[in-house]
Amino acid sequence: MYPSTLVVIILVSSFLVVETDAISFGDLKRKIDQGVGFANELLGESGEIPRGTGGCVVKWNIQGTLRGLKWKWVCTCRDTCTGIVEVQTKYSRDGSLEHCLTHLFQRLGKEL
């Protein structure tokens, strides 16, 4: 099963617990946020990559988000020694991480 399919299933299941009475926009937004939070608990990920010999580490974190009606992945990469941060948003989870790390290391190459 593709991660995006799982996300859709999770979001739809969050709507199933909505009462049959009229629902306000605020209630609907809270239900969607609950579904997104649940999806991120299952599919979100973080890690670190050692950089150089000085104890520097690149930390990364991937979280899913709804942008309009489309699911996107947001990856944040941060170098612990320089404090440089890069954020990339893509439709693909792996693409988000790949682009984030690539751009971060390109920026580090220019700065160092």
DSSP 42-103: HH-EEEEEEETTTTEEEEEEEEEEEETTEEEEEEEEEETTT--EEEEEESSHHHHHHHHHHH
Q: Where in the chain is the domain with CATH 3.30.160?
A: 45-112
The pTM score is 0.71
**Per-residue model confidence as pLDDT tens digits over 10-39:** 555 555 555 556 778 888 788 878 888 877
- pLDDT tens readout for residues 31-70: 878 888 877 787 789 999 999 878 899 999 999 988 888 8
Under CATH, which number does the domain 45-112 receive? 3.30.160
